[in-house]
């Protein structure tokens, strides 16, 4: 009799635990772990991060408390990225209640070099933080890891991407490029930002 009760309890635990775990996952507000090559989608909550900018100042996404345009670019050496960052200087109006962050695997000294190069065009300095994700942990958590470069010096770079996040970090718009030569225009991004109002 004791053996039957014991076996019954084992079976009960065996079947109840997976159901309880699934219920917890449904109720848990924390985003589930994702593949580093499966991009974050519209409607999902953007993973939080704390990264240092080109001047060593730390930026934490969850402290923004306002909409954020989050741009992932390949690196300082990519001419398409340099052009995109140069154009992004004109994205936001001075009174816009939106933050703009750019993220790459570049260390701060490479980022500063790129910013100086951009400013030489006479159209002003880069007016938003460029964040260093040197170990590509944030890039991976957004599912942007570009597997084309595995085993190369540039391993860890992201697919170029632009996300618009609302003030609760929910993704309201996303553009992830498989062709690194293509980037959304400021007009496309502004049109989506206007929908937040």
| CATH code for position 171 | 3.40.30.10
* Phi-psi map region of 29: left, alpha, beta (phi>0 left; psi -120 to 50 alpha): alpha
Q: How many whole angstroms separate alpha carbon 73 and alpha carbon 193?
A: 20
pTM of the model: 0.82
Over the stretch 150-174, which tens digit does the pLDDT of each residue have?
999 999 999 999 999 999 999 999 9
What's the angle, vertex CA 14, arms to CA 9 and CA 18, rounded to 5? 135
- The residue range of the domain holding 3 is 1-30
Q: Tokens standing for 44?
A: 């999902």
Query: Which residues lie across from 68 on neighbouring strands?
Result: 99, 165
Is the same domain home to 149 and 105?
A: yes
Same-domain pairing of 109 and 14: no
Q: Say if residue 25 is in the same domain as residue 39.
A: no
pLDDT digits (tens, 9 = 90+) for 81-129: 999 999 999 999 888 899 999 999 999 999 999 999 999 999 999 999 9
């Amino acid at each position: 009799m004791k053996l039957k009760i014991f076996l019954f309890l084992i079976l009960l635990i065996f079947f109840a635990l997976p159901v309880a775990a699934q219920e917890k996952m449904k109720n848990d507000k924390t985003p589930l772990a994702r593949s580093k090559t499966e991009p974050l989608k519209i409607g999902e909550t953007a993973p939080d991060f704390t990264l240092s900018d080109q001047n060593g100042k730390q930026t934490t996404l969850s402290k923004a408390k306002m909409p954020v345009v989050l741009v992932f670019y390949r690196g300082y050496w990519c001419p398409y990225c340099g052009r995109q960052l140069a154009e992004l200087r004109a994205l936001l109006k001075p009174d816009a209640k939106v933050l703009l962050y750019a993220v790459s695997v570049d260390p701060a000294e490479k980022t500063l070099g790129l910013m100086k190069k951009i400013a030489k065009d006479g159209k002003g300095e880069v007016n938003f933080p460029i964040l260093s994700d040197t170990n590509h942990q944030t890039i991976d958590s957004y599912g942007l890891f570009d597997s084309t470069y595995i085993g190369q010096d540039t391993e860890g770079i992201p697919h170029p991407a632009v996300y618009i996040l609302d003030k609760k970090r929910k993704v309201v718009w996303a553009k992830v490029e498989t062709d690194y030569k293509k980037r959304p225009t400021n007009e496309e991004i502004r049109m989506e930002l206007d929908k937040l109002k």
